[in-house]
Amino acid sequence: MDLDPVPRARLVKALEEVPPVLANEAVLGQAMLNLLLNAAHALPVGHASEHTIRVACRADGDKVVVEFTNSGPNIPPEVVRHVFDTFFTDTPPGIGSGLAVSIAHTVVMDMGGSITVDSEPERGTTFRVELPAHGVVDHDSSPPRRRGPARPSDTKRVLVVDDEAPLGNAFRRALRQHDVTAVTSGREAVALLTEDSDFDLIFCDLFMPDVSGMDVYAWIKNHRPGLEADIVFMTGNTFSGDGRQFLEKVSNKRLAKPFELNDLRRFVAEYVGHRDEE
């Protein structure tokens, strides 16, 4: 989500001293950065003298309020209804993946807070975050994995994310002793993990038509921190420069396509054995 080097607006800060909130500093900081970048993306490049982005922070009773306001065009009502939807974006192609505001929304809601958007002609757009001051709620900001019924210790839950449906069936045949769930798109994976993230291992194709494995990784890292370490990326022999750069930055295991089912069984047994020893 890199911004263009050309300025977009003047940054105005109105930051008051506020009480602390109970949060993971890195996760909350990323959510706030997402909202700031979202405000910038709404403005045209090269007209910084005509636009402002105002970041305000204040205490309001037992809440801490943070606001991000840009002076750009208002958001139409039919768009406002969808701004918090996962992967929804009204920015030009190539600018963001529609995850930024969704990530911020999930982080804030998991903290027991709220996030709203107010957009009117001539007044710009304001994203308002309200968080409970420390002591109002007492829970960790990172959502726990939602656990299902108890299962045998040697049975693992495996998620397969690949746009080729037959591959999911092959995983089920090869891993009969495990609980295998298969989806055929990155969107389906995110929707599933939003409700149920109790998986021991996730096999994810690096490139898919709608949402890439890289985007799925980013969503998991921000929404279900810790689970991203259990992603195994499935790749072909060749992949683009973006894919190569991404894989160089992460330490996740990889499974090269095509592979034999016996190789898959062996891979899972070794991987699960190693994780159980940790």
The CATH number that applies at residue 217 is: 3.40.50.2300
Asked if residue 161 and residue 263 are part of one domain, the reply reads yes
Give dist(CA 198, CA 95) in Å, integer.
Answer: 32
Asked if residue 187 and residue 115 are part of one domain, the reply reads no
Kindly indicate the confidence band of residue 242, based on its pLDDT and cuts at 50, 70 and 90.
confident
> Per the confidence metrics, is the pTM higher than 0.75?
no
Kindly indicate the confidence band of residue 140, based on its pLDDT and cuts at 50, 70 and 90.
very low
Enter the tokens of residue 240: 């683009």
What average pLDDT does range 232-240 have in this prediction?
75
Are residues 42 and 70 in contact, defined by beta-carbon separation less than 8 angstroms? yes
Are residues 24 and 110 in contact, defined by beta-carbon separation less than 8 angstroms? no
What average pLDDT does range 122-137 have in this prediction?
80
pLDDT digits (tens, 9 = 90+) for 186-233: 888 988 898 889 999 999 998 887 788 888 998 898 889 999 999 999
Are residues 130 and 99 in contact, defined by beta-carbon separation less than 8 angstroms? no
| Number of domains present in the structure of the chain | 2
Q: Which residue has the higher pLDDT, 98 or 194?
A: 194
**What residues make up the domain containing 240?**
157-277
